[in-house]
Structures are given as structure tokens and as C-alpha cells.
């Protein structure tokens, strides 16, 4: 699969959505047993922006953060990672969003949010318009299903992004990323379907694909998602690795993960996968090769505590003997 990328100094990817600060509890275990917390910059779309930038691509991130110390933490970290931030607005009328979570793979992590009324939740269609102004056709723009769940203005911004991407031949990359603690299925499904219908590439888990299509198996889910409009649909599946579809009439593409890592922190693995997939497509890798790159990025990310700390650089991504399953 070939994904045209813009020339010159324009970003190859613009990610639009939420960035916030997470306080991760230590030691591992129930959140109420924590004795200390470490701060980390997180956010579905900002994680992807950092991941693609670390792999050597020109990346911009657009959104809103507070004019406070936590906003400064986010701004400094993104700039240090080489992510362009001219469309990351410092909002003096609202605080930067925060979350608190523990370290636990099973059962799933406990998360406490302090993001209601946050600067990130005030993202609006005008912010999207400013971030997309002048981008050449073929530029990849990314949003996840987290953003439209945050507020009415965020929902309007995400839908404006989808409409603008289609009208201007930008390539919309959507991660369904349905979060049950943000909105219910009945509210989420129609909005997420609209985003997917405008997407060039969509990624989802099996359960997320089932929410939108009713399909059960990974292969059926990938084909059903592709049938909604995207050129490529990729299902992340714990048992199979990943299953992709480029159309209902074409056979599914199954790409198992060939790398293993000690899991220090499973949160952020999907964002790392998305970053690797986007980078692979920007580099004109075949779809199976781009998915293999995505697997390696996800495996690297979960070996380190924090969403972005373990995202690999280009040099780190090169496969070695230690990466191969023994």
C-alpha cells in the first residue's frame, strides 16, 4: 500500500486531540495502596504524535492545554520529542487535564480522571480548521475515539476533522478507541461510525469493531469495518496479532506478532501500534510490513512504565536476535 506524503516542510502527520498528565501509582497494585506517584505526559493522539516523531517523521500536534505548570510540562515534552506545537493552544480559562492510575495488567488498571472542564475538553472546530490550514493533499491526520467523547465541542471538532479531511483529500487515520467510562455504547456508536466512514485507515480491537458492525471474528470485523468506507481496516487481536482488510471481496491479511517483551505497563500499547503503522505507511512499506512495524512498536512500549517513555527510535526499532520469539 502506498500512502502519498507531503513534500517540503509540511508535517507528514498532524494528530489532533487530547494531551494530559498522568500520575502513575507506585508500587504496583491497587490504586488505594499507592505510596507515591510519578508524572507522565499522556494522551491517545499525543502518544501517537511522539511515536511517529521518534521514528524520524515530521509531526504536528494540535489541541488545548491549560496555562499552568502541567500544560508547560506537556509543551516542553512534546517540543523535546520534535513534535511541532504551533497549534497547541494554551487556554487560560481551563486547567490541564489530569489522571491517576495504578500499575496492573490483570485485572485492568484503575483510572481516576480529573479532566471534566479541562482545557483539552474545550477543543473546537476552529482549532481543527487552524491546524489543517494549508496542509497538502495526502497529509495524514489522526484522531481517536477518545476525543469526541470528551465534550460536545470535542465531538464537533472530531466530526469537523472528518469532514475537512474528506473534502481536502487528507488521509484520516482513526483509532476507534472506545472508552466505556467516557460514554455509553448508544451514544458512541453513531459518532464513531461517522469518523470511520470518512477514514482512509482505521484501527480497532475486536470488541470495538463489534460495537460498530456486529461482526464477531477478527476477519469478519476487519472486512465489515472496511465496508463502512476506509481503504484499510486493521483489527488488533490478542490471539492472532493483527488482521487487516482492504475490502470485503479481498482475503484478510493476518500478521502475527513475532516479538515478545516483559510487560512493565500495558497502557499505551495501542497508541504505539498506531504510531508504527503510520510510520510504516509513510515509508511505503507493504501493509503486512507496516503492521509488523506496528507490532514491534507496541512490544517496545509496554516494556517501560508510561505511555511514551518506551516508544522506540528508528535505531531501536531495527530487529535483532533478541526480538525474535525463542
Phi-psi region of 203 (alpha: psi -120 to 50; beta: other; left: phi over 0): beta
Selecting among 91, 265, 271, 307, the annotated active-site residue is: 271
Cis peptide before 107 (omega within 30 of 0): yes
d(C-alpha 262, C-alpha 259), whole Å: 11
Rounded to the nearest angstrom, the gap between the alpha carbon of residue 12 and the centroid of all alpha carbons in its chain is 16
The phi, psi pair for 149, rounded to 5°, reads -85, -10
Whether omega before 117 lies within 30 degrees of 0, making that bond cis, reads: no
Sign of CA dihedral 12, 285, 203, 38: negative
Kindly give, in sequence order, each residue whose CB lies less than 8 Å from that of residue 65, ignoring residues fewer than 6 positions away: 19, 71, 74, 75, 88, 89, 90, 91, 96, 119, 120
- Check if 271 is active-site: yes
User: Which positions are annotated as active-site residues?
Assistant: 271
Amino acid at each position: 500500500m502506498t500512502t502519498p506524503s507531503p513534500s517540503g516542510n509540511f508535517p507528514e502527520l498532524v494528530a489532533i486531540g487530547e494531551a494530559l498528565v498522568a500520575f502513575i501509582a507506585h508500587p504496583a497494585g491497587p490504586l488505594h495502596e499507592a505510596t507515591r506517584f510519578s508524572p507522565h505526559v499522556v494522551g491517545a493522539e499525543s502518544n501517537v504524535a511522539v511515536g511517529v516523531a521518534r521514528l524520524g517523521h515530521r509531526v504536528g500536534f494540535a489541541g488545548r492545554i491549560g496555562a499552568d505548570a502541567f500544560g508547560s510540562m506537556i509543551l516542553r515534552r512534546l517540543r523535546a520529542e520534535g513534535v511541532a506545537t504551533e497549534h497547541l493552544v494554551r487556554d487560560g480559562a481551563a486547567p490541564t487535564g489530569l489522571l491517576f492510575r495504578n500499575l496492573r495488567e490483570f485485572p485492568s488498571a484503575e483510572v481516576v480522571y480529573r479532566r471534566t472542564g479541562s482545557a483539552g475538553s474545550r477543543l473546537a472546530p476552529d482549532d481543527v480548521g487552524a491546524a489543517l490550514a494549508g496542509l497538502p493533499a495526502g497529509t495524514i491526520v489522526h484522531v481517536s475515539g477518545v476525543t469526541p467523547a470528551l465534550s460536545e465541542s470535542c465531538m464537533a471538532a472530531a466530526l469537523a476533522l472528518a469532514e475537512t479531511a474528506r473534502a481536502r483529500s487528507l488521509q484520516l487515520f482513526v483509532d476507534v478507541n472506545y472508552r466505556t467510562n467516557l460514554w455509553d455504547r448508544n451514544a458512541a456508536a453513531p459518532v464513531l461510525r461517522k469518523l470511520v466512514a470518512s477514514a482512509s485507515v482505521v484501527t480497532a480491537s475486536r470488541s470495538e469493531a463489534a460495537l460498530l458492525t456486529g461482526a464477531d471474528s477478527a476477519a469478519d470485523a476487519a472486512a465489515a469495518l472496511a465496508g463502512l468506507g476506509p481503504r484499510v481496516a486493521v483489527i488488533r487481536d490478542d490471539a492472532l496479532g493483527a488482521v487487516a482488510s482492504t475490502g470485503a471481496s479481498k482475503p484478510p491479511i493476518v500478521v502475527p506478532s513475532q516479538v515478545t517483551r516483559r510487560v512493565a505497563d500495558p497502557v499505551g500499547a495501542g497508541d504505539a501500534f498506531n504510531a508504527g503503522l503510520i510510520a510504516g505507511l509513510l515509508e511505503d512499506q507493504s501493509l503486512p510490513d507496516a503492521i509488523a512495524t506496528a507490532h514491534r512498536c507496541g512490544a517496545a512500549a509496554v516494556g517501560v512504565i508510561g505511555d511514551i517513555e518506551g516508544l522506540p527510535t528508528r535505531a531501536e526499532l531495527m530487529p535483532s536476535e533478541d526480538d525474535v520469539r525463542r
